[in-house]
Amino acid sequence: MKGKMNAMILEAAGQPLVYKQVNVPIPTDVQLQIKVIACGICRTDLHIIDGELNEPKLPLIPGHQVIGRVKMSGKKVTGFKTDDIVGIPWLGYTCGECKFCLSGRENVCDRALFTGYTINGGYAEYMVADARFCFLMPKEYQEAGASPLLCAGLIGFRSYRMIGANAHNIGIYGFGAAAHIITQVAKVQGKQIFAFTRAGDAESQSFALKMGASWAGNNDATPPEKLDAAIIFAPAGELVPKALKDTDKTGQVICGGIHMSNIPSFSYNLLWGERSLQSVANLTREDGLAFLKQLQKSPVETQTTHFKLHQANEALNLLRSGKITGAAVLVME
């Protein structure tokens, strides 16, 4: 399709997105043209818009949790046909040549491009994406509510897979989009989830219990049992020493966000006992395929609040202030 489309544009960091008409993008030989069904709103979008991730392509169409319908394919594309429902994630391109790509670590490719950050994303009626980085979506996950699976789900799953198989008591700090998805996966596998939220956030704590957490409390609370592992989704560096304190010897603390405030200094005894601290960076295509396969074994239900495209700034403000339960989604059709 050619012509004009509506999109939300980031013209400068720290400024609201601008709702305007732009040209519908035309795919290259290796791209798909996709009519966007829905695009989930991610905390990473806030980091980009607020200038905390400071190397975006400008002007930029944000958004990297996309469910859409294939409308046109480049002449070198295979494996997709018109009207297929696809998912488009954060990872949009890798070089395939560097030491990271050649060793199965394309998530840290030095020349990687990222949807909604260094290439245009899904806050629009149409977008293009490299077909090699798109996923055919299972029949059960082709609606707007599935869009958070493309980042919140994938990054949550990659973070969760970092944890040793023997870990039983798992703490999750920051109970939002990623946490409510991976909690459902963990519960099917017999894990016990301890959810930590902002102080006094009774709504999020109640939501965590509803999603399957065994316990929920404030970030500064002591869990009723020592943790075998912890995942920090909240972008708050002060939670790192707290999570280490809550974790038993040999435990793991996984930082699942792309941005975090400064981590305060802490005494070595919090790390001693063979505890470990690790970050999670981006995702690989293998993560996506493994996650979609996992969903066949342990289906999840996403909790979403829907907004129209022109309401993106309103939705972002609600997310910024912690007033979104689950995930916010922009719906185009």
Terminal Cα distance for the chain, rounded: 17
CB-based contact 74:29 (threshold 8 Å): yes
- Residue 179's SS3 state is helix
What is the structure's pLDDT at 254? Answer: 98
Task: With residue 154 as reference, give the H or E element that holds it.
Answer: helix 152-161
| Residue whose entry in the numeric block shows the structure tokens 């859409």 | 68
- Catalogue the E-assigned strands of 24-153: 31-41, 65-73, 85-88, 91-93, 113-114, 126-130, 135-136
**For residues 132 and 114, what is the distance between their CA atoms, to the nearest angstrom?**
13
What is the structure's pLDDT at 2? Answer: 82
Cis before 27? omega within 30: no
Buried b / exposed e over 53-71, threshold 16 CB at 10 Å, is beebeeebbbbbbbbbbbb
Q: Which two tokens stand for residue 237?
A: 């560096």
**For residues 137 and 143, what is the distance between their CA atoms, to the nearest angstrom?**
10
What is the structure's pLDDT at 243? Answer: 98
For the chain, residues with pLDDT lower than 70 are none
How many CA within 13 A on the CB side of residue 12? 2
For residue range 227-268, list pLDDT tens digits in order. Answer: 999 999 999 999 999 999 999 999 999 999 999 999 999 999
Q: Which two tokens stand for residue 201?
A: 């956030």
DSSP-assigned letters across all residues of 153-201: HHHHHHHHHTS-TT--EEEEES-SHHHHHHHHHHHHTT-EEEEEESTT-
Q: Which two tokens stand for residue 318?
A: 């609600």
What is the structure's pLDDT at 331? Answer: 98
**For residues 165 and 102, what is the distance between their CA atoms, to the nearest angstrom?**
27
**For residues 319 and 41, what is the distance between their CA atoms, to the nearest angstrom?**
8
**For residues 281 and 259, what is the distance between their CA atoms, to the nearest angstrom?**
10
For residue range 87-105, list pLDDT tens digits in order. Answer: 999 999 999 999 999 999 9
| pTM (predicted TM-score) | 0.93
Q: Which of 253, 45, 223, 66 is nearest to 141 (CA)?
A: 66
**For residues 192 and 169, what is the distance between their CA atoms, to the nearest angstrom?**
5
Q: Which two tokens stand for residue 186?
A: 């963990």
What is the structure's pLDDT at 216? Answer: 98
Q: Which two tokens stand for residue 112?
A: 């990687």
Strand-strand pairing, 327-331 and 304-308 = parallel
**For residues 259 and 53, what is the distance between their CA atoms, to the nearest angstrom?**
8
Q: Which residues contact 202 (CB under 8 A, 6 or more apart)?
A: none
CB-based contact 37:68 (threshold 8 Å): yes
